[in-house]
Amino acid sequence: MTLSPIRSRSRSASLPRPFLFWSGLAMTTAGVLLHLPAYFAMRTMDRRMAGMAMGASPPMNMGSSPTMNMGSSPTMVTGMILLTVGLVISVAGLIERRPTAPVTDRYQLLPPSQDRLSPAHARLIAALSLAMIIDIMKPATLAFILPGMRSDYHISVATSATLPVVALTGTVFGSLLWGYLGDRIGRRATILMSSIIFVATTVCAVMPTFTWNLVMCFLMGAAAGGLLPVSYALMAESIPTKHRSFVMVLQAGLATVLAYFMTSGLAALLIPHFGWRIMWFTHLPFAVLILVLHHWIPESPRFLLQHGRTAEALEVAERFGMRLAPADTPGTDSPTRPSQAAGLKASRAGVLASLFERGTAAKTVIVGLYALSWGAINWGFMTFLPSLLKSDSHLGVTSNTLLFYSSLIAIPGTGLVAVFYARWSSRKTMALFGALSALALGVLAVIGLSGSQGLTIVVMGVLITGTSGVIAMLSPYTAEVYPTRVRSAGSGFAAACSKAGGVFGPPLLALLLAHHPGVSAIALVCAAPMAVATVLIGLRGQETGGQDLDHLDADPDQARPEELVLH
């Protein structure tokens, strides 16, 4: 039998402390808006704010230096105080009281009687897609603002290159921290926390020094690095099994495309008229919109059960068409269920430490290596490729043109990723696109860039197809393969590994290029780990396609061998 509905007021899609949350958000937003007068007042200076002291008024005339003729103005200082205090208050409004002991041995989630997407699922997908788009827009914006930033702050190309490195370092930190928090305080709370930080860090637009931009970009990167993996964890635990894989992989691909489309479009429209700083302000309304639509993002029913919040779990289950029943209900055909002992063990050992325990360590090693390999290729190899192509003039076309043609070839291939992943096999599709990436790099290592123009375009098209497929599947697969108790932390670990390639890859490959010029050496170095990761995921990876999360959540000591490949 299923449980009868509990009609008490549910907090699954409300806020633990709404007064604190909305008051803090209002203070944070007001603090950001108080920075706008100084920004618009600098229009006569071509909006150059470098060197302007915090809390200073704009210069009296265009011929003045930004640090001259500045009377005392409290607006920016007041704004910084407001947004800092507001940020703390609004985050406090998201934190639930200490959860009760796990009760997953007494209740279990049953799949919906009709395996279809409901209006509640559509709202969740829409809200999280918007969050993912804003999340991806953050790093994408860096490419468009760096030229104006170098001119404004009078810094070299080498100095400006530290900004993306700091931002990527922030994403590594944020992926690990947010992944941990997602399993401790909830998926929903951490997603909204990222959005609040997005609101606060839009003041990056008026930072008077490059150092302050680095600080803000680190915080922004931390929020961005944590939002994606936690969002996919929530999606995996809320979408029906039949549609889960297809929706998540398609969402990953479309969010990336739309984010770059919106970023490039806003840059083309706004930067010529308002300068590079306006790009950060454009993120403010989108981040606020996510927070306004917070009721579209209920907490994961599996997380709620894991932490003893049964009434809320029942409300969310009803909304999504799922059912909640006593664990000993006959005829439910549930082969395994998360054990209370396993949850308590995770609490004692620590969430991150649990990633390397028996039953999860193999998964962690495989997805970590797969993610790190992609990061080395995307942030390392692809960074140097335009320069290497430009130096090889025999191809007869510019590097931008060649990469454009290669990208056109890759579009149909990446469009098939969602279909293969959902309809064929998640594990085999991961291995296929990893193999395509390693194969393309291997060909480049052998022939270099000395082949014909057509051959080079095809090989590059295969490489872009492979790497685009890898990253489109990485977050959805990781969210599916880990059990509920560490799903967020596991997703965060994989995301951190993918970003770590951007921190360590470029300097290591630059050192290699200094001793071995040309594409062959760096292609071989990047191909090797991807080849190893592909073999591991092909032989030892866990199949997730078409499987209910109860099978994937199975305790390794109770699961049947054929259900748990990574034992």
What per-residue confidence (pLDDT) applies to 45?
A: 54
- Two structure tokens written together for 333: 């055909």
pTM of the model: 0.78
CA 88, distance to chain mean position in Å, is: 23
Residue 129 near residue 251 (C-beta atoms within 8 A): yes
User: Range with the lowest mean pLDDT among 62-76, 288-302, 553-567?
Assistant: 553-567
| pLDDT interval class at 416 (50, 70, 90) | confident
What per-residue confidence (pLDDT) applies to 324?
A: 72
Residue 464 near residue 410 (C-beta atoms within 8 A): yes
- In DSSP terms, which residues pair with 326 in a beta bridge? 107
Q: Supply φ then ψ for residue 8, to 5 degrees.
A: -70, 160
Task: List the chain domain ranges.
Answer: 18-96+115-316, 355-551
Distance CA(159)–CA(256), nearest Å, equals 28
Per CATH, 18-96+115-316 and 355-551 having the same topology is answered yes
What per-residue confidence (pLDDT) applies to 404?
A: 63
Distance CA(482)–CA(566), nearest Å, equals 11
| pLDDT interval class at 70 (50, 70, 90) | very low
The residue count of the chain comes to 567
Going by C-beta distance under 8 Å and a sequence separation of 6 or more, which residues neighbour residue 451? 459
547-562 pLDDT per residue, tens: 777 666 664 443 333 3
350-385 pLDDT per residue, tens: 667 788 887 788 899 999 999 999 988 887 787 777
What is the per-residue DSSP string for 144-156?
Answer: HHHHHHHHHHT--
Going by C-beta distance under 8 Å and a sequence separation of 6 or more, which residues neighbour residue 343? 102, 104, 306, 485
Q: In the block, which residue shows the tokens 């970023």?
A: 263
Q: How many Cβ atoms from other residues are within 10 Å of residue 450's Cβ?
A: 13
- Two structure tokens written together for 427: 């594990």
Half-sphere exposure of 536 (CA within 13 A, CB side): 18
Superfamily designation of domain 355-551? MFS general substrate transporter like domains (1.20.1250.20)
Mean local confidence (pLDDT), 97-122 = 67
What is the per-residue DSSP string for 395-429?
Answer: GSS-HHHHHHHHHHHHHHHHHTHHHIIIII-HHHH
232-276 pLDDT per residue, tens: 889 888 888 888 888 888 887 778 778 877 887 888 888 888 888
Distance CA(257)–CA(524), nearest Å, equals 29
Q: How many Cβ atoms from other residues are within 10 Å of residue 397's Cβ?
A: 15
- Two structure tokens written together for 321: 């068409």
Q: How many Cβ atoms from other residues are within 10 Å of residue 195's Cβ?
A: 26
What per-residue confidence (pLDDT) applies to 435?
A: 95
User: Range with the lowest mean pLDDT among 339-348, 376-385, 531-540, 542-551?
Assistant: 339-348
To which H or E segment does residue 387 belong? helix 382-391
What per-residue confidence (pLDDT) applies to 6?
A: 41
Averaged pLDDT of the chain: 77
Query: Which residue in 52, 48, 55 sits closest to 68, CA to CA?
Result: 52
CATH architecture of 18-96+115-316: Up-down Bundle (1.20)
Strand, helix or coil for residue 77: helix
Residue 355 near residue 490 (C-beta atoms within 8 A): yes
419-439 pLDDT per residue, tens: 888 888 999 999 999 999 999
pLDDT at 166 over 50: yes
- Two structure tokens written together for 245: 């894989």
Burial class (CB in 10 A: 0-12, 13-18, 19+), 514: exposed
Strand, helix or coil for residue 265: helix
Strand, helix or coil for residue 323: strand
| pLDDT interval class at 49 (50, 70, 90) | low
Residue 73 per-residue DSSP state? -
What per-residue confidence (pLDDT) applies to 96?
A: 74
Q: How many Cβ atoms from other residues are within 10 Å of residue 157's Cβ?
A: 9
